Amino acid sequence: MKIALIAHDRKKDVMVKLVTAYREILAQHELFATGTTGKRIEEATQLPVHRYKSGPLGGDQQIGAMISQDDLDMVIFLRDPLAAQPHEPDVTALIRLSDVYEIPLATNMGTAEILLRGLAAGFVDFRQVIHETDNRPLSL
């Protein structure tokens, strides 16, 4: 599966801890991240990460493009709800696209842990079914 990892500045340390804790699970998947977050993850875990631009420079939009092309299976976006973000419209668009294309999305550590544990247990296999059915979004 293809997993995007994004973290606002004050959440980058938490993201590195999360990826370090779940390294064995994440090592089995393709990882994508915005600029600095991806660099920090690579340095801390030695996992390969495809890095896009930083969020404010368009990285959120690049990941959003992957979602709209149904080329991403999960998003972990550790947001800082207490800080104003200059690229907040991009953040909102990314969350909206995740909903439109039914991409599992975590915006905090608790939900991220549940998604990663579910991934390891096979609870996110519906994404593979989608890819087997001509890349059409699943209708529930």
Q: Give 26's contacts (C-beta < 8 A, 6+ positions apart).
A: 3, 19, 45, 47, 116
- Cα–Cα distance, 118 to 106 (Å, whole number): 12
Q: Where are the domains of the chain?
A: 2-132
Q: Mind listing the pLDDT tens digit for each residue in 66-87?
A: 999 989 999 999 998 777 776 6
Tokens of 66: 């992957």
Q: Which superfamily does CATH assign the domain made up of 2-132 to?
A: Methylglyoxal synthase-like domain (3.40.50.1380)
Q: Which of 13, 60, 70, 80 is catalytic?
A: 60
Residue 128 has pLDDT above 90, yes or no: no
Question: Do 99 and 29 touch, CB atoms closer than 8 A?
Answer: no
Q: Which residues 6+ apart lie within 8 Å of 111 measured at CB?
A: none
> pTM to 2 decimals?
0.88
pLDDT of residue 56: 83
Q: How many Å apart are CA 29 and CA 39, to the nearest integer? A: 17
60 is catalytic: yes
